[in-house]
Homo-oligomer: A and B are copies of this chain.
């Protein structure tokens, strides 16, 4: 019976041409339509067939595209050039990332001063809302007027600024945080981190979620103000969501009621069609996306 129902379809794929060498480009990926698959559930199986409607693009995928021996890759297994990644990216991953980075790593307290870089991104927009919901003062930075408006008017940040318009980041931070920063949710790295260190308060915490400005540089930007760790007794900690997946159901219990009540909101940036996936992924490293980047691959 099952045999009769089997359907043969072309399976469009995005394949990595070769491991990255510097900044990712669209030409590092190939759209392949050569693969033919049969949609068939094995006999006597309770399996079901799923159709993907959306795919996720996330900055951490840069690590999948690095040589296995590269120290810059993330903790998840790398792709093999020419074949499909075996890693499933959970579509709610940025929400869980924001949740563990803020509540588990940053040790926040009511009334603290929180700064989020890349704040309109999939993770940053949620960190800001979590921080507001527990009574923190929250400022975010982003790379366009549109994104800054979103932070202030949609996500409820206390304030926000366009880092591209600030030639002196230290001065900008002193304007928004005259009494210093308790928690820095780090998404970008480089000169932003250097300026933040000068503005940390005693016992401040830096949760290193990402350093998107640094991944693809041949020579990473250097940071000069590391000794502020000592002067201010700062704690800085890198984390990855893949080590907190056991908190996923607790996270859903926490966030879903607030999403239903529209107390937590979000912005998605959806491109249509798998063939636009490579450009969408690369756009993350240029700041082209506004909010969580998705690729719609089917509509039913």
Binding site for B on A (CB under 8 A): 71-75, 189, 193, 198, 202, 208-211, 214-215, 219-240, 243
Contact = CB atoms under 8 A, between A and B. Distances in A.
B189 A227 contact: yes
A226 B223 contact: yes
* Secondary structure call for the A interface: loop
B227 A236 contact: no
A223 B238 CA distance: 16
Contacts of A220: 224-227
A219 B224 contact: yes
29 contacts: A71-B198, A72-B227, A73-B231, A74-B231, A75-B202, A189-B226, A208-B229, A208-B230, A209-B230, A210-B230, A215-B227, A220-B225, A220-B226, A220-B227, A221-B224, A222-B222, A222-B223, A222-B224, A223-B223, A226-B226, A228-B238, A229-B237, A229-B238, A230-B238, A233-B237, A233-B239, A234-B237, A234-B238, A235-B236
A228 B71 contact: yes
Contacts of A189: 226-227
Nearest to A233: B238
Ranked nearest first, the 9 interchain pairs of A and B with the lowest CB-CB distance are A222-B222, A229-B238, A230-B238, A235-B237, A222-B224, A233-B238, A211-B227, A208-B229, A236-B236
Determine which residue in A73, A209, A226, A237 has the highest number of CB atoms from chain B within 10 A of its CB, and name it.
Answer: A226
Determine which residue in A189, A231, A237, A239 has the highest number of CB atoms from chain B within 10 A of its CB, and name it.
Answer: A231
Determine which residue in A211, A219, A237 has the highest number of CB atoms from chain B within 10 A of its CB, and name it.
Answer: A237
B236 A211 contact: no
A211 B238 contact: no
Given A233-B238, A236-B236, 15 more contacts: A71-B228, A71-B231, A75-B202, A75-B233, A193-B226, A211-B226, A211-B230, A214-B227, A219-B224, A220-B226, A226-B226, A232-B238, A234-B238, A235-B237, A236-B237
A294 to B, nearest CB: 24
Contact of A231 (B193, B209, B233, B238): B238
Contacts of A219: 224
A193 B208 CA distance: 18
Determine which residue in A189, A202, A209, A235 has the highest number of CB atoms from chain B within 10 A of its CB, and name it.
Answer: A235
A187 B208 CA distance: 23
Contacts of A73: 231
Contacts of A237: 229, 233-236
Determine which residue in A222, A236, A238 has the highest number of CB atoms from chain B within 10 A of its CB, and name it.
Answer: A238
B229 A72 contact: no
A230 to B, nearest CB: 4
A238 to B, nearest CB: 4
